[in-house]
Amino acid sequence: MMNSKRLGLLCFLVSVSLAWTVKGGGMRRRKRQQCAHGVYSHEAFQCCRCQTGHLVLDHCSKGQATQCAQCPDGTFMAHPNGEKSCEHCTHCQHARHLEVKQNCTDKTNTVCRCLSGYYCDKGEDCFTCYSCEKCEGLGVKVACTATSNTVCHEKNSPGGLIACAVIIILVLVATVYVLWRMGCLKKCAMKKRNEDVAELEQLSVLSDDVVLRPYLSKIASVLKLQDVKAVARLTLDEAEIDRQEINHPNNAEEQTYKLLEAWYQKQGERGACKALVKALHNQGRKSDANRVQRIIQEGEEGKMLMS
């Protein structure tokens, strides 16, 4: 009887022990399952890791889980961790011919790339970019990229010869164009000079003895005040020019006539016709010069018919 009681007590103790073991194991499994990013060891504890982009603010302890915080600006953490600090973001140094391709975040480091015209073929270990090679006189076989240098044609290779031929052709074309332009400009200059000579020859038709006074009124009606002022300044001072404006205010036509008359008196009768036409011609007023010359010639021809 005593043995059966002892046996029953032993069975009871074994069953209780197994129940606590199963229960404890289940609790540990649940605790591990709650650590979504794995665990790390700290002193005598298995602490939950902080997620990517975060650091450990306080390690876990008895009755307290791991305390995490987001990485500060300028730092990052690219994986779950048990670290008390994040890694510093890389700076893309312009002095090393680098620029930012992708900004740093709390989860990823800065991504740099080479500036235009520079390359680096060292993969992730690129801390400095190098200037792309210039294929002077050889021609480019493969253009430079951010990860590879220029590939040039070899000397005396077909590609290099083609590149040289293209350059020579371009130089020849440019030379021919410049020479053609020079010839065109020379012809244009010659044409203008011939026109000027022809106009001066027409001017010589006017006699120095032609009297200008009978035509002053008609000439003043076809010329602008500013053009007559420009002619008058060749012989009159500014005070005389201003006096004509003051004496005939608000009457541009009368000012033009009086100013032309004052110039004529100062210029003198002999050769005045030629002087007026030539002055207008020299000021670039060729159409006005021709108009004045026609007025004088038509008047003189009319006098000859009447006589």
Question: Does the pLDDT of residue 19 top 70, yes or no?
Answer: no
H, E, C per residue of the chain: CHHHHHHHHHHHHHHHHHHHHHHHHHHHHHHHHHCCCCEEEECCEEEECECCCEEEEECCECCECCEEEECCCCEECCCCECCCCCEECCCCCHHHCEEEEECCCCCCCCEEEECCCEECCCHHHCCCCEECCCCCCCCEEECCECCECCEECCCCCHHHHHHHHHHHHHHHHHHHHHHHHHHHHHHHHHHHHHHHHHHHHHHCCCCCCCCCHHHHHHHHHHCCHHHHHHHHCCCCCHHHHHHHHHHCCCCHHHHHHHHHHHHHHHHCCCCHHHHHHHHHHHCCCHHHHHHHHHHHHHHHHHHHHHC
More confident residue, 208 or 113: 113
Provide the residue ranges of all domains of the chain, joining segments of one domain with +.
Answer: 35-88, 94-100+112-151, 153-204, 208-306
Give the model's confidence band at 206: pLDDT under 50 very low, under 70 low, under 90 confident, else very high: low
Which is the CATH superfamily of the domain at 208-306? Death Domain, Fas (1.10.533.10)
More confident residue, 10 or 137: 137
What size, in residues, is the chain? 307
Mean pLDDT, to the nearest integer, of 100-128?
Answer: 91
- CA angle (137, 140, 143) in 5-degree steps: 145
User: According to the model, what pLDDT value does residue 21 have?
Assistant: 40
| 43-98 residue pLDDT tens | 889 999 999 999 999 999 988 999 999 999 999 999 999 999 999 999 999 999 99
Mean pLDDT, to the nearest integer, of 206-211?
Answer: 68
Least confident of 10-14, 40-44, 184-188: 10-14
Question: Does the pLDDT of residue 292 top 60, yes or no?
Answer: yes
User: According to the model, what pLDDT value does residue 159 have?
Assistant: 57
Question: Does the pLDDT of residue 28 top 50, yes or no?
Answer: no
Give the whole-number percent of the chain exceeding pLDDT 90. Answer: 31
Q: How far apart are CA 207 and CA 257, in angstroms?
A: 23
**pTM value > 0.85:** no
The answer to whether domain 35-88 has CATH 2.60.40.730 is no
User: According to the model, what pLDDT value does residue 211 have?
Assistant: 77
What is the residue-averaged pLDDT of the chain? 79
Question: Does the pLDDT of residue 281 top 70, yes or no?
Answer: yes
Task: State both tokens at 278.
Answer: 């030539």
Give the whole-number percent of the chain exceeding pLDDT 70. Answer: 78
